[in-house]
A and B are shown apart, each in its own frame.
Chain A
Amino acid sequence: MKNLALLKQELETFKKSKNKLLAEAKGKYVLIKRGQVFDVFTSFEDALSEGYKRFGNQPFLVKEISEVEEVNYFTRPTIAR
């Protein structure tokens, strides 16, 4: 999708690494920048802080390691952009 371009490489890296991450760190949060998995963290906040320390105000991916992506529901006709 067009709007995901800023994290395209990171999302591909997550997809490639997902099985390994699930086996080793299910339920934790992974920090990814470009093609590299940097570390896993117990909390989103810790992963985010580390991302800012390493990369500053740049795009990076913090993602929960789970088998199924949680879907968020909106009763309002919110249009994603």
Chain B
Amino acid sequence: MPLLTTTTSNLRTSGPIIEVLISPSQALRRILEEKQQLVPQPLQKIMLIDTGASASAIKTGIAKELNLRPHGTITISTASHKSVICLTYDVDITFKIQKVAVLNVRVFESNFEGQPIDGLIGRDILSQGLLIYNGYDNAFTIGF
């Protein structure tokens, strides 16, 4: 398992953020290619690795940029919202430096207004990998 360690100046304030590529799922790309339709290019985004999130989310508008259609729903509860049902989209998320892709991730769109992130990497993705949070050294390690 290739591991990537990232060091920041202040991990407490920035959080474990990581660059990813978000693209339409492999299944959709295959169909679009077969039909000789335009395949949207992957978008480079900044995601926060969030162990407090049981699923992953993307910023509102990304689904439209990738020309995605919804294929499911998810029920979410937060400190301020209980059992809200949201549409989900399926995407592939590629960890840029490691060039590791997690396929068919079901994400919902959320408003991260005022926050320097484009989404959350939740425990659905983390369940497939390893995460070490080294607060003492302002570093974190992730591997898949």
Chain A interface residues (CB < 8 Å from chain B): 1, 3-4, 6-7, 11, 44-45, 48-49, 51-53, 56-63, 69-81
Contacts and interface: CB of A to CB of B under 8 A. Distances in A.
Decide if the interface of chain B is mainly helix, strand, loop or mixed. Answer: mixed
B31 A7 contact: no
Interface of B: 25, 27-28, 30-32, 35, 37, 50, 52-55, 57, 60, 67-81, 83-87, 90, 104, 106, 108-112, 120, 122
A75 B53 CA distance: 6
A11 B68 CA distance: 18
Contacts of B74: 72
B72 A79 contact: no
A80 B53 contact: no
A79 B80 CA distance: 8
A72 B92 CA distance: 20
A76 B71 contact: no
Decide if the interface of chain A is mainly helix, strand, loop or mixed. Answer: mixed
A57 to B, nearest CB: 6
13 contacts: A6-B87, A11-B73, A44-B106, A48-B25, A48-B71, A52-B27, A72-B54, A72-B75, A72-B76, A74-B76, A76-B78, A79-B110, A79-B111
A76 B120 contact: yes
Contacts of B37: 57
A75 B35 contact: no
A35 B57 CA distance: 28
A59 B35 CA distance: 17
Given A49-B27, A78-B120, A80-B108, A7 B73 contact: yes
